[in-house]
Amino acid sequence: MTSEIGARALHVLETVFGYPAFRGQQADIVEHVASGGDALVLMPTGGGKSLCYQIPALLRDGVGVVVSPLIALMQDQVDALEEVGVRAAFLNSTQTFEETLRIERLVRSGEIDLVYVAPERLLTQRCLELFDVSPISLFAIDEAHCVSQWGHDFRPEYIRLSVLHERYPGIPRIALTATADLQTREEIAHRLQLDDARKFVSSFDRPNIRYSIVEKTTGRKQLLDFISSEHPQDSGIVYCLSRKKVEETADFLNEHGIRALPYHAGMEYSQRAANQSRFLREDNITMVATIAFGMGIDKPDVRYVCHLDLPKSLEGYYQETGRAGRDGLPASAWMAYGLQDVVLQRRMIDESEADETFKRVLSMKLDAMLGLCETLSCRRMRLLDYFGERSGPCGNCDTCLIPPIQVDGTVPMQKLLSAIYRVDQRFAAGHVIDVLRGAQTERISQWHHDKLTVYGVGADRSEQEWRAIVRQAIALGFVTVDHDAFSSLKLTDAARPVLKGEQKVQLRQYQKPVKAKRPSSRAAGSYEELELSRSEQAIFERLRTWRMGTAREHGVPAYVVFQDATLREIAKVKPGSLDALRGVSGVGEKKLVSYGDEIVAIINEMM
């Protein structure tokens, strides 16, 4: 960045936020918006979207208005800004009338840099009239995908945000989202009247996240093993489909020594908020939640995100797993998935109130999700490909680390398909597998299925193996699960060439789950540099304890004081003076004044 505004932006980045350089497209976005341009920013979670509007708001005259749907998080966002010396406030329904009046005065006189508002608040006559007479530097529309009626975060008020364009045509607007699919992008541009805005589309890759998907057997027990062996001291999120399962899983983890808290929309608001707040503030908590949890959660050191149930779409999966590792340090995305998940999701689509077109969309999304689960190639390649990005094998997912063994599965697939055909496509997977394995059940005798030619032809394989084949048959499109009450398996047209022996089928042979401890070289990047020796580890732990106490005193989340990455760098650099500390990434001028002496004292005491 060579322009004058670019130089000023870099200065703010260094002195206020304490970072030495912009990341990715941040520099271009900041320069464009600070110069008065409109922007649509698509960046993955953890990409650094906040600075894209915070720095332009500091560079331009007046108050930057940030529209965000997340009232519960506004306090933390404002606290984080105040920690670095930015004058920020919010306007929302949790405030007293006096407080509202005070903030409104500050906005009108331009005495603050940023104000956060919820969309429903912004759309009130009172708020619009306030902004009419206030010096506004820009409007930032965060979580802009909430405007999309197709997504699960839809907020009707977002559609009315086109008022900003009509009412304040000269004020730059920047809309931001981490939702990657093309349909949502176009909907955002169109509905927010940002068709003419410059689009900044970043790579959606999150190289520090390791993806793994295991075959579900015991579910919860597998989860416990994963957390205890890979992330015993870390914060993480576990997603479940139902409220009941959230509660049960949280109880189970607690009984086994993992500090877990539940979160779902059926809980009392106060309890939910309290759990969220503990998760944000404390270290080493596992949040067990429905997808109601997570949007806008800025916690940078979430080390793992687990799915105990199959997500509905790759968009959802990517958004949820993206909450891991925002700080760029190694993180895990782990999922356990089984045939029952497919059956359940199919049924949910069929039983939903949606019209046929919408059901078809849901069905296609689910197919893409299954494709990822059953893929024989790199998970990341597959994911990025879905979002329109080409890439090569990543070296940091389960299929790259321990490539699945491919076997010619033509014969077992034919057996399965003919068994489905022979039982008149009227039975679910369990019964079809019983027939194949030659089981003796009441239903089999009742329907005389022991007389079929396929009876017992698959006795050489376990039920588990057959389930894996059924899943792949569904993922490969040979079989569908019917909407009838029994979830019967049905053949598609694609099954014919396989049955006739005209098409060969490659299947994946399941193996024991990956248990690789070391991050791969590619993902390690920043981490290797921050790898700590034993004495440095002791300093890091000491700094963490100091941080917890300080955060508690100030009533802010620990990461608002300093992030793990910053504390690790301090432990490595061991700055003996304020000047040396100033050079650490994440230490800006204000934090240097607030905490510098204490940090330097800790370092000197431990040297």
* Residues contributing to the site for Zn ion (CB under 5 A): 378, 380, 394, 397, 400
The residue among 397 and 495 lying less far from Zn ion, judged by its C-beta, is 397
Closest approach of ligand ADP to the CB of residue 168, in Å: 24
The residue among 73 and 107 lying less far from ligand ADP, judged by its C-beta, is 73
Residue 425 DSSP label: T
Order of all β-strands in the sheet with 114-117:
88-91, 114-117, 63-67, 136-141, 173-177, 39-42, 198-201
By the rule CB under 6 A, 362 interacts with ligand ADP = no
Q: Which does 298 bind (CB under 5 to 8 A by kind): ligand ADP, Zn ion, none?
A: ligand ADP
By the rule CB under 6 A, 135 interacts with ligand ADP = no
Closest approach of ligand ADP to the CB of residue 45, in Å: 4
Strand, helix or coil for residue 232: coil
Closest approach of ligand ADP to the CB of residue 513, in Å: 29
Q: Which does 394 bind (CB under 5 to 8 A by kind): Zn ion, ligand ADP, none?
A: Zn ion
The residue among 400 and 567 lying less far from Zn ion, judged by its C-beta, is 400
By the rule CB under 6 A, 327 interacts with ligand ADP = yes
Per CB under 6 A, the list member of 83, 230, 234, 298 interacting with ligand ADP is: 298
Token digits of residue 218:
């015991």
By the rule CB under 6 A, 309 interacts with ligand ADP = no
Q: Which does 37 bind (CB under 5 to 8 A by kind): ligand ADP, Zn ion, none?
A: none
CB 273 within 8 Å of CB 72: yes
The residue among 380 and 437 lying less far from Zn ion, judged by its C-beta, is 380
The residue among 39 and 400 lying less far from Zn ion, judged by its C-beta, is 400
Interacting span for ligand ADP (CB under 6 A) from 22-30, 211-219, 530-538, 589-597: 22-30
The residue among 380 and 431 lying less far from Zn ion, judged by its C-beta, is 380
Token digits of residue 139:
């409007």
Interacting span for ligand ADP (CB under 6 A) from 16-24, 65-73, 280-288, 482-490: 16-24
Where b means 16+ CB within 10 Å and e means fewer, 202-231 reads bebebbbbbbbbbbbeebbebbbebbeebb
Q: Residue 395: name the closest of 513, 519, 230, 525 by CA.
A: 519
CB 411 within 8 Å of CB 505: no
Binding flags for ligand ADP, 540-569, as an x/- string (CB under 6 A): -----------------------x------
Give the helix/strand (H/E) hosting 335: strand 331-337
CB 253 within 8 Å of CB 226: no
Query: What distance in Å separates the CA atoms of residue 565 and residue 574, rounded to the nearest whole number?
Result: 14
Q: Which residues contact 445 (CB under 8 A, 6 or more apart)?
A: none
By the rule CB under 6 A, 43 interacts with ligand ADP = yes
Interaction residues for ligand ADP, span 139-158 (CB under 6 A): none
Q: Which does 286 bind (CB under 5 to 8 A by kind): ligand ADP, Zn ion, none?
A: none
Q: Which residues contact 549 (CB under 8 A, 6 or more apart)?
A: none
The residue among 48 and 119 lying less far from ligand ADP, judged by its C-beta, is 48
Closest approach of ligand ADP to the CB of residue 298, in Å: 5
Indicate the pairing of strand 63-67 with strand 114-117.
parallel
By the rule CB under 6 A, 323 interacts with ligand ADP = no
By the rule CB under 6 A, 320 interacts with ligand ADP = no
Interacting span for ligand ADP (CB under 6 A) from 49-57, 401-409, 477-485, 516-524: 49-57
Token digits of residue 565:
């990455």
Listed as own residue / partner, the contacts of 374-377 with beta carbons closer than 8 Å and 24 or more positions apart are 374/471, 374/472, 374/475, 374/476, 374/508, 375/399, 376/404, 376/406, 376/506, 376/508
Q: Which does 180 bind (CB under 5 to 8 A by kind): Zn ion, ligand ADP, none?
A: none
Query: What distance in Å separates the CA atoms of residue 158 and residue 438, rounded to the nearest whole number?
Result: 57
Closest approach of ligand ADP to the CB of residue 579, in Å: 20
Q: Which does 380 bind (CB under 5 to 8 A by kind): ligand ADP, Zn ion, none?
A: Zn ion
By the rule CB under 6 A, 437 interacts with ligand ADP = no
Interacting span for ligand ADP (CB under 6 A) from 41-49, 261-269, 511-519, 596-604: 41-49
Tell me the HSE value of 226 on the side-chain side, using a 13 A CA sphere: 30
Closest approach of Zn ion to the CB of residue 394, in Å: 3
Q: Which residues contact 275 (CB under 8 A, 6 or more apart)?
A: 261, 262, 263, 267, 287
Where b means 16+ CB within 10 Å and e means fewer, 119-145 reads bbbbbeeebeebbeebebbbbbbbbbb
Closest approach of Zn ion to the CB of residue 308, in Å: 22
Give the helix/strand (H/E) hosting 186: helix 182-191
Token digits of residue 89:
């406030």
Listed as own residue / partner, the contacts of 247-252 with beta carbons closer than 8 Å and 24 or more positions apart are 248/220, 249/220, 249/223, 249/288, 249/308, 250/288, 252/220, 252/224
Per CB under 6 A, the list member of 303, 326, 431, 471 interacting with ligand ADP is: 326
By the rule CB under 6 A, 110 interacts with ligand ADP = no
Interacting span for ligand ADP (CB under 6 A) from 42-50, 82-90, 102-110, 155-163: 42-50
| Size of site (CB under 6 A) for ligand ADP | 18
Residue 160 DSSP label: G
The residue among 139 and 318 lying less far from Zn ion, judged by its C-beta, is 318
The residue among 380 and 568 lying less far from Zn ion, judged by its C-beta, is 380
CB 296 within 8 Å of CB 68: yes
Q: ∠ at Cα 310 (474, 145), nearest 5°?
A: 110
Give the helix/strand (H/E) hosting 221: helix 220-230
Phi and psi, residue 460, nearest 5°: -75, -5
Interacting span for ligand ADP (CB under 6 A) from 46-54, 212-220, 428-436, 522-530: 46-54
What is the residue-wise DSSP string for 276-313?
Answer: HHHHHHSSS-EEEE-TTS-TT---TTEEEEEESS--S-
The residue among 300 and 525 lying less far from Zn ion, judged by its C-beta, is 525
Question: How far separated are the first and last CA of the chain, in Å rounded?
Answer: 40
Looking at beta carbons, which residue is closest to ligand ADP? 48
Neighbours of 515 (CB within 10 A): 12
Closest approach of ligand ADP to the CB of residue 583, in Å: 14
The residue among 113 and 374 lying less far from Zn ion, judged by its C-beta, is 374
Binding flags for ligand ADP, 564-593, as an x/- string (CB under 6 A): ---------------------x--------
Which residues form the interface with ligand ADP (CB under 6 A)?
Answer: 19, 22-23, 26, 43, 45-51, 298, 300, 326-327, 563, 585
